[in-house]
Structure 1
Amino acid sequence: MQSSTKIWRILFAIAIIAIAVQQVVFSVYMPVILPWPEDLVKSPVVVWIGSAIVAAIGALIIIDSKARPAAIYLGLLFLALLIVFHIPNQFRTTPGFLGSWANALKILALSGCAFIVAASSPKTGTYVTGFEAILPAGRFFLAITMLVFGIEHFVYIGFVPGLVPHWAKFPIFWTYFTGVALIAAALGIILNIKLRLAANLLGLMIFIWFLLLHVPRAMADPRGGNGNEIVSAFEALAFSSSAFILAAISRKKEAKSKTKRKKA
């Protein structure tokens, strides 16, 4: 499991580093990281310091002996940003509009992804024993976000088909199909029903989006919204990588369970 999960762990780390670098390039916090207040979001010094911290943690995730504590700290950082900034901002602005919760849900998912990465990382060197108990929550954080995004495919059926590439026929069909797929995968992960299959299919679907949807959009508009399309692409890479890691974790647990039953 370690060889396959390490590849996805590195891709997750690259995605996090890339988001941090993007913030430095434009000297602004991306909405998925920090939505307000404006004096922090657009302060170059604050942006550079915060982005350097995130990038440094991301780099440590690549190193086997540092990956577990680094991923835990990253997950806790994202969770703190959600609680301190995103949730208050939503209640301050548009609490009743589901679509406006996208960035809050994304950072919840990124927090969960970091915990999933931590759970799969080797327990070598030093690791944060006091926060190990939070790692199982990672899969729920990711799944909740995917569940809501799946529901939004039906709630905003007038908008979502416009995101389907023009070369793909039947955009309404693909909107409903991906909505059902997201909901099914999320429920499988939350309820532990065919969890490995659900996580693998979720990872595959989002990775396909990364290649066919997000990368072309990022290449077509690399500077719009301070590089928002580029950040969206790396978010998708982080989500898919973590889903594949979750599937690998589930496979390892299944193998251990079978071994115990044989010994019994």
Structure 2
Amino acid sequence: MQTLLKTGRIFYGLAIIAYGVQQIVIQDFRPQIIPPFPSWAHQYSIFAIASGVAMIVLGVITTGFVKVASCNPATACLYLGIYFLLLIITCHFPYLLFIFPHKLSHLGVWADLLKELAFSGGSFVMTASLLNDQPPTSKNKHSTKDHLFLAGRLFFCTTMALFGWSHFVYNSFISQLVPAWLGMSRFWAYFGGVALI
């Protein structure tokens, strides 16, 4: 089980590093991280670059490839989870509820928010799994770990279930993404939806 957890942490950390590198390269926030609101965050590339550097550093710490005395992997994951959750609350929700010009009843408009919700959930699950490796210092620590694990699972599972549902709602579009050589595109779109749910 430890090998599986370690592998998961490495892949999660590498994904965070990749998003950080993308932000540095394009010198802007990925829409999954910050939507067009607030606009000032996109006008000054220093914000995206600083965020990208922070994501790279925290991603490297999460993988466990580099040991940092002042920040262990559990703390790095916790920071990432809080960062992503705060961006959902302060950027994604206001953008979708007050600025976004399209109907919110379409599941597709929530895609970027849901991706960030999965990032946050993954971070909280990683935090809880890393806290399992450390001896508890108080009863409160177990409670915090359990709450983080529950929140992380709910965040991540919500995203997966809604993405799975979108395979049914938008099947004609999703089936176009299936390579022609694979055949039975509608079947594979439905199959992917079932697998995600």
- TM-score, scaled to structure 1: 0.64
User: Does residue 3 in structure 1 map to residue 7 in structure 2?
Assistant: no
Aligned partners of 2:172 and 2:186 also within 8 Å? no
Letter of the structure 2 residue corresponding to residue 97 of structure 1: H
Change (3 A) 1:73 1:131: farther
AA paired with 2:149? L
Secondary structure at the aligned position of 2:172 is classed as coil
The equivalent residue for 1:123 is: 134
Q: Which amino acid aligns with 1:40?
A: A
Unaligned runs of 5+ in 1: 184-264
After superposition, residues 140-219 of structure 1 pair within 5 angstroms as 140-183=154-197
Aligned counterpart, 2:116: 107
Whether the 8 Å contact between 2:125 and 2:148 is mirrored in structure 1 is no
Partner of 1:51: 52
Partners in 2 of 1:12 and 1:131 — Cα distance? 21
Task: Find the counterpart in structure 1 of residue 83 from structure 2.
Answer: 77
1:19-53 superposed Cα distances (whole Å, 9 cap, x missing partner): 11011001010000000222212421111111111
CA distance in 2, matches of 1:166, 1:42: 41
For residues 102 and 41 of structure 1, the distance between their equivalents in structure 2, rounded to whole angstroms, comes to 20
- AA matched with 2:81: G
Counterpart in the other structure of 1:25: 25
Assess if the C-alpha contact under 8 Å between 1:16 and 1:54 holds in 2. yes
| Distance of aligned partners of 1:168 and 1:42 in 2 relative to their CA distance in 1, 3 Å threshold | farther
Asked if the contact 1:112–1:138 (Cα under 8 Å) also holds between the matched residues in 2, the reply is yes
Q: In percent, how many aligned pairs have the same letter?
A: 38
Q: Which residue of 1 aligns with 2:15?
A: 15
Q: Secondary structure at the match of 2:182?
A: coil
| Distance in 2 (alpha carbons) for counterparts of 1:82 and 1:9 | 23
CA RMSD of aligned residues (A): 2.2
**Cα distance, 1:134 vs. partner?**
2.5
Once residues 56 and 62 of structure 1 are traced to their aligned partners in structure 2, the CA distance between those partners, rounded to angstroms, is 10
1:180/1:3 Cα in 2 relative to 1: closer, same or farther (>3 Å)? closer
Residue 40 of structure 1: aligned partner: 41
Distance of 1:71 and 1:165 partners within structure 2 = 36
Secondary structure of the 2:181 match is coil
The secondary structure found in structure 2 opposite 1:18 is helix
Please say if residues 40 and 47 of structure 1, whose CA atoms lie closer than 8 Å, have aligned partners that are also in contact.
yes
1 CA distance for matches of 2:183 and 2:51? 42
Counterparts of 2:42 and 2:33, CA distance in 1: 9
